[in-house]
């Protein structure tokens, strides 16, 4: 009897140990699964207008921008959009856009922008992060991103559309003309040939380099 009792007890202990080992393996597996769980990507921002800034930064990152290029891109767009606060150019006086961009009042500028009809100055004034301006630019950007901006120019002020426009502009007008993204002067020339706001743009670049 004692031999049988010993055998039963021994088998019970072995089964218990197997169960404990299995439980331990499951716990370890669970711990490893928790350890390797993908973490949400973090975004650092500079402006108080975080919604607009985050939309642009996410689109830029998801399209491969990083390092000094990402810092320059965000820094330049931050300046162009008045700290991400304005998605549409504001008129300074009555008929401001007509006098600045329209074929009736500013024929030279209008021709450069492709504004060939009266009212195009108002219709295709600056919008979005990069302040897209002019019928030709609206047409080319719209074709590139698949949005009818010629017939619906107001869409260029929507952050999600504006982010795609800014990225298109960067990849077609800026990036091909810049060899070193640490050189804020050459980057700015591709956006604003007069280099307006160069010091502020460079400070934005340095600030983004620090937090990204």
Q: Which residues form the catalytic set? A: 80
Tokens of 20: 């404990």
Cβ distance 150 to 142 under 8 Å? yes
Q: What does the alpha-carbon distance between residue 53 and residue 48 come to, in Å, rounded to a whole number?
A: 9
Alpha helices (H) along the chain: 2-35, 50-62, 67-80, 96-101, 107-113, 120-123, 135-145, 159-169, 184-189, 198-211
Cβ distance 205 to 71 under 8 Å? yes
Q: Is residue 116 classed exposed, middle or buried when 0-12, 13-18 and 19+ CB atoms within 10 A define those classes?
A: exposed
| Residues whose CB falls within 8 Å of the CB of residue 43, separated by 6 or more in sequence, listed in order | 54, 57, 58, 61
Name the one residue in this structure whose structure tokens are 């973490």.
39
């Amino acid at each position: 009897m004692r031999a049988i009792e010993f055998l039963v007890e021994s088998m019970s202990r072995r089964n218990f140990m197997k169960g404990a080992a299995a439980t331990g393996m499951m716990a370890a597996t669970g711990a490893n699964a928790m350890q390797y769980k993908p973490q949400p990507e973090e975004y650092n921002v500079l402006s108080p207008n975080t919604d607009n800034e985050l939309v642009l930064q996410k689109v830029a990152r998801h399209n491969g921008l990083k390092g000094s290029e990402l810092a320059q891109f965000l820094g330049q767009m931050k300046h162009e959009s008045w700290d991400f606060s304005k998605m549409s150019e504001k008129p300074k006086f009555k008929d401001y856009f007509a006098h600045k961009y329209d074929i009736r009042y500013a024929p030279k500028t209008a021709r450069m922008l492709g504004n060939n009809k009266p009212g195009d100055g108002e219709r295709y004034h600056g919008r979005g992060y990069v302040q897209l301006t002019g019928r030709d630019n609206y047409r080319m950007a719209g074709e590139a991103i698949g949005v009818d901006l010629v017939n619906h120019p107001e869409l260029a002020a929507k952050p999600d559309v504006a982010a795609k426009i800014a990225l298109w502009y960067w990849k077609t007008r800026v990036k091909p003309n810049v060899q070193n993204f640490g050189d804020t002067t050459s980057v700015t020339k591709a956006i604003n040939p007069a280099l307006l706001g160069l010091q502020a743009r460079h400070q934005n670049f340095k600030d983004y380099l620090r937090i990204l």
